[in-house]
Structure 1
Amino acid sequence: MSDKIKNELQELLHANVVTAETAEKIRDYFHQKEAENQNKLSSVFGILGAILVGLGIILVFAHNWDTLSRLTKVILSFLPLLIGQIFCGYSLLKKSASTVWRETASVFLFFAIGASISLVAQVYNIPGDLDSFIITWMLLSLPLVYVLQSSIVSLLYIAGITYYGCNANYFTYPSTHSFLYWLLLLGIAPHYYQLVKTKALSNFTLFHNWFISISIVICLGTIAHKNGHLLYLSYMSLFTIFYFIGKTTFFDQQKLKNNSFLIVGKLGILYLLLLYSFKWFWDKSFYKTDSLAETLLSIEFIIALLLTVLAAILFYKKNSKTNFKEVSLLELAFLTNILPFITGYEFSIIANILVLFIGIFEVKRGIKLNHLGILNFGLLLITILITCRFFDTNLSFVIRGILFITIGLGFFLTNYFMLKKRNRNEK
């Protein structure tokens, strides 16, 4: 506890503002908070230290590698693995209550596993590709997440399988195609569930929320094969599902930075709607398709259908409690998935109207809640929509200029009057 807080607390105590018992509780609170901060700082430096030591050992080996005998190379290849296991064993037996020890030891062993695999393969010239290396590394490291309860290794695991998903599909498409990422992702599900249940407000949970949501968004495209144009339908439903997850009681009560599902879902929906608002998007994306039967039986269509059904179930579950009286346009965005199957319809008009009304709704909600962030988000959305139409229409520069001036004045006046109202209410 800082000297300033101690002095102020002493003054309050002498002035009989707080009782001795209350003062003691305040001291205990700040001492506990300082201890938690020190543990977090120790964990960060311990993990960084383990990473640097591991990388340093690898660099030392690499510098002298060619001059060593095969036996020496084999011994040195397994040495980081042995050291890491010793540290992990000591952490389990003697320091099981210490997060710093568990995380540091498990991170060191995580990198030691990868180093040992690659070094042994190099010594004996074992053939293999990058995909098999990453899979082997991740699967051998996964037990660390549960044995040592290591959330950092869990995050590294998510990053590793995400890279694998990209390398096995995007980087080598169309020569290879793999769905193994989704099975690997399930491997981390029990640990994430435990974090959400027991440490909902911890930084580890916060990072897992972001890592998992972004990883799924990145790798959803790996299902694409012959009907990649249908991925837009899957992404719209996925973002809607994320939005509903973010609106559940558990996530809705947390700070916005912890609610990655709501942020990713909302921004994803709006991004796709803005993309839908361009006429060229529809001309190039959905009308150049294969036969109807082939499309309906494709993996892309099946996944899009399943995600859309799940989004509909979550929509019903959320709004049935309020008799559908609090339905927002964002929640209905996944219904645009039926548009590609309605021939002769001007889809871009629907998207423009949706984005415009969502922006107006956000402005109205910001005014009602007296929240400048929500207000400006709505105004920004309307501005982006108008900017899109700036490049997509043949309006004269005079009309375009007037529109931007109007939006600029709207930003200024709404913020001015809201701040004025807020100051008047504070007085």
Structure 2
Amino acid sequence: MKSRLVDELPELVRNKVISEEVAIKILGYYQSQESETPNKLFAIFGVLGSLLVGLGIILILAHNWDYFSRALKTGLALFPLILGQVLAGYAILKKKSGTWKEASGTFLFFTVGSSIGLVSQIYNIPGDLSTYVLIWILLCLPLIYLLKSNAVAMLHIAFSTFYAVSIGYGFNGLSEAPWIYVLLLALLMPHYLQLLKHQSEANVTSIFNWLLPLSVIITLGTFLERYGDLGYLTYIILFGLFYNIGKLPIFDDRKLRRNGYLIFGSVGTVVMLLICSFIGIWNFDSGSDLFVSKEFLMTLLLFGVTLALLIYLYSKQWMKQFNLFHFVFIIFTAFFFSGLLDGLIAAIFVNILVLVLGLVTIKLGADRYHFGILNYGLLIITALIVCRFFDTDMSYVIRGLLFVIVGVGFFLANYIMLKRKKSIVKV
């Protein structure tokens, strides 16, 4: 569209639609935009090139490593790091393009890690994997802001998640809550908030909208050391928080594929409810100190934040119509604590809740004439029926009939809505 307009400028001037002065201003505007906007494809290949160069250097050195003296090994270990710093410094001082900064930042990120590892190996410096990764992350953290590098920010999230998983799930033999992970994410937030403020429509911002909630989902379980069963409630509340974040205008006004919070919140809520719909899940072993444990206090804090966000959405009148997904975390919290007394009753209530969620979603899809939402609601009900096949004693005939009924329901719901949509378009 832009190039077409620029090509038509001479004709518009000849036909006196616009003046020559206006045409020059339009042309100058688009030329300045092109010079300020880096080639996205070139930036991607620049980052990939940096990765390949770094890996290639490591492989070459590894193949001949045993034949080198200690001094030569040290020099070779530090040379990529020095080269990476020179490239990054050159990109900053010369105010190079975003492609330069992304490529040099990615290269420097990996050379920091390789240099630490090689020097530790050369001089037999003891340490474990999680400490090594943490030092690596902290040393490279300033690159995010010095180079304004999105690639380094993504690597920061990925390696922070790895660090949390490695010490939180006991991969090193001992498990402990990775509270430093929370600090690492907090240090990244200014960069992410700047992206939301100035580049909310950019593809790279959409990647962060998926990557950040995914990281939190993976690592949340690392904080549940003693009372793991409390994780069912904690995850439901977390998904409720994500869903309500996804309903903020800055996310909700974008295309669905750019709103990882909403999708993770919705799908995660349904998955957790389906898991909790089995009666066997409710055999909780709650100790006397459950309500004073750090796991409970963390869950309580998460509940308070999610409830505050829900109230904020309501006060701003951003909840355009009733949607049960907004309130599932509150309803399930009541079910969870009732399940500590009677698991059967809680399981029945959860099954009813999933069924109502499916029906509400179907109605929402029908009201909006949205086939995706409609079929999502039907899929929720189908998943609930499938789950009940595993813990109920039904004959194969009844099971087959249920599948037939669900299949017919899929067809009829889509057919009826298609007919309604066509009739509205004709009018």
What TM-score, normalized to structure 1? 0.89
2:286 counterpart of 1:289? yes
Larger CA deviation: 228-237 vs 165-174 = 165-174
2:324 counterpart of 1:329? yes
2:305 counterpart of 1:310? yes
Specify the alignment match of 1:159 in structure 2.
Answer: 158
Larger CA deviation: 406-415 vs 168-177 = 168-177
2:231 counterpart of 1:231? yes
- Letter of the 1:67 partner, please give it: Y
CA RMSD of aligned residues (A): 3.0
Larger CA deviation: 138-147 vs 32-41 = 32-41
How far the C-alpha of 1:304 sits from its partner, in A, is 1.0
Instruction: Tell me, in whole angstroms, the C-alpha distance in 2 between the residues paired with 1:215 and 1:260.
Output: 12
Larger CA deviation: 254-263 vs 394-403 = 394-403
Instruction: Tell me, in whole angstroms, the C-alpha distance in 2 between the residues paired with 1:272 and 1:29.
Output: 51
Q: 1:339 to 1:43 in 2, by over 3 A?
A: same
Matches within 5 A, 1:156-305: 156-172=155-171, 175-177=174-176, 178-283=178-283, 286=284, 288-290=285-287, 292=288, 294-305=289-300
CA contact (8 A) 2:310 2:326 kept: yes
Q: 1:353 to 1:19 in 2, by over 3 A?
A: farther
Matched-pair identity in %: 44
Q: 1:152 to 1:322 in 2, by over 3 A?
A: closer
Larger CA deviation: 27-36 vs 189-198 = 27-36
CA contact (8 A) 1:252 1:259 kept: yes
CA contact (8 A) 1:246 1:252 kept: yes
Instruction: Tell me, in whole angstroms, the C-alpha distance in 2 between the residues paired with 1:332 and 1:416.
Output: 31
Instruction: Tell me, in whole angstroms, the C-alpha distance in 2 between the residues paired with 1:62 and 1:325.
Output: 60
CA contact (8 A) 1:329 1:354 kept: no
- Letter of the 1:302 partner, please give it: L
Instruction: Tell me, in whole angstroms, the C-alpha distance in 1 between the residues paired with 2:203 and 2:319.
Output: 35
How far the C-alpha of 1:139 sits from its partner, in A, is 0.4
How far the C-alpha of 1:38 sits from its partner, in A, is 6.9
Q: 1:410 to 1:127 in 2, by over 3 A?
A: same
Question: Gaps (5+ residues) in structure 2?
Answer: none
Q: 1:35 to 1:374 in 2, by over 3 A?
A: farther
Q: 1:383 to 1:32 in 2, by over 3 A?
A: farther
How far the C-alpha of 1:275 sits from its partner, in A, is 1.2
Specify the alignment match of 1:70 in structure 2.
Answer: 70
How far the C-alpha of 1:79 sits from its partner, in A, is 0.5
Residue aligned with 1:346, SS? helix
Matches within 5 A, 1:59-138: 59-96=59-96, 98-138=97-137
Q: 1:353 to 1:33 in 2, by over 3 A?
A: farther
How far the C-alpha of 1:265 sits from its partner, in A, is 0.9
Q: Paired residue for 2:334, among 327, 333, 338?
A: 338
Instruction: Tell me, in whole angstroms, the C-alpha distance in 1 between the residues paired with 2:54 and 2:130.
Output: 22
- Letter of the 1:299 partner, please give it: K
CA contact (8 A) 1:319 1:326 kept: no
Instruction: Tell me, in whole angstroms, the C-alpha distance in 2 between the residues paired with 1:50 and 1:323.
Output: 44
Q: 1:57 to 1:416 in 2, by over 3 A?
A: same
- Letter of the 1:289 partner, please give it: S
Q: 1:418 to 1:279 in 2, by over 3 A?
A: same
Instruction: Tell me, in whole angstroms, the C-alpha distance in 2 between the residues paired with 1:378 and 1:101.
Output: 46
CA contact (8 A) 2:81 2:108 kept: yes
Instruction: Tell me, in whole angstroms, the C-alpha distance in 1 between the residues paired with 2:257 and 2:194.
Output: 20
How far the C-alpha of 1:363 sits from its partner, in A, is 1.2
Q: 1:29 to 1:376 in 2, by over 3 A?
A: farther
Larger CA deviation: 44-53 vs 20-29 = 20-29
CA contact (8 A) 1:243 1:263 kept: yes
- Letter of the 1:309 partner, please give it: G
How far the C-alpha of 1:9 sits from its partner, in A, is 7.3
Deviations 1:362-410 (A, max 9, x none): 1111111111111111111111111111222112222222221111111
Q: 1:322 to 1:176 in 2, by over 3 A?
A: closer
CA contact (8 A) 2:233 2:336 kept: no
Instruction: Tell me, in whole angstroms, the C-alpha distance in 2 between the residues paired with 1:420 and 1:37.
Output: 45
Instruction: Tell me, in whole angstroms, the C-alpha distance in 1 between the residues paired with 2:126 and 2:318.
Output: 61
How far the C-alpha of 1:181 sits from its partner, in A, is 1.4
Residue aligned with 2:350, SS? helix
Instruction: Tell me, in whole angstroms, the C-alpha distance in 2 between the residues paired with 1:322 and 1:257.
Output: 24
- Letter of the 2:286 partner, please give it: T
Residue aligned with 2:148, SS? coil
- Letter of the 2:335 partner, please give it: L
Instruction: Tell me, in whole angstroms, the C-alpha distance in 1 between the residues paired with 2:381 and 2:36.
Output: 43
Specify the alignment match of 1:40 in structure 2.
Answer: 40
When the two structures are aligned, how many residues end up with a matched partner? 417
Instruction: Tell me, in whole angstroms, the C-alpha distance in 1 between the residues paired with 2:349 and 2:319.
Output: 22
How far the C-alpha of 1:317 sits from its partner, in A, is 2.3
What TM-score, normalized to structure 2? 0.89
Residue aligned with 2:117, SS? helix
- Letter of the 1:240 partner, please give it: G
Instruction: Tell me, in whole angstroms, the C-alpha distance in 2 between the residues paired with 1:339 and 1:63.
Output: 60
Residue aligned with 1:126, SS? coil
Larger CA deviation: 201-210 vs 151-160 = 201-210
Instruction: Tell me, in whole angstroms, the C-alpha distance in 1 between the residues paired with 2:320 and 2:134.
Output: 48
Instruction: Tell me, in whole angstroms, the C-alpha distance in 1 between the residues paired with 2:186 and 2:148.
Output: 17
- Letter of the 1:406 partner, please give it: I
- Letter of the 2:181 partner, please give it: Y
Instruction: Tell me, in whole angstroms, the C-alpha distance in 1 between the residues paired with 2:25 and 2:235.
Output: 50
Question: Gaps (5+ residues) in structure 1?
Answer: none
Residue aligned with 2:42, SS? helix
CA contact (8 A) 1:199 1:205 kept: yes
Instruction: Tell me, in whole angstroms, the C-alpha distance in 1 between the residues paired with 2:203 and 2:265.
Output: 21
- Letter of the 1:40 partner, please give it: K
How far the C-alpha of 1:32 sits from its partner, in A, is 9.0
How far the C-alpha of 1:328 sits from its partner, in A, is 2.4
Specify the alignment match of 2:399 in structure 1.
Answer: 400
Deviations 1:27-55 (A, max 9, x none): 99998998899710000000000110111
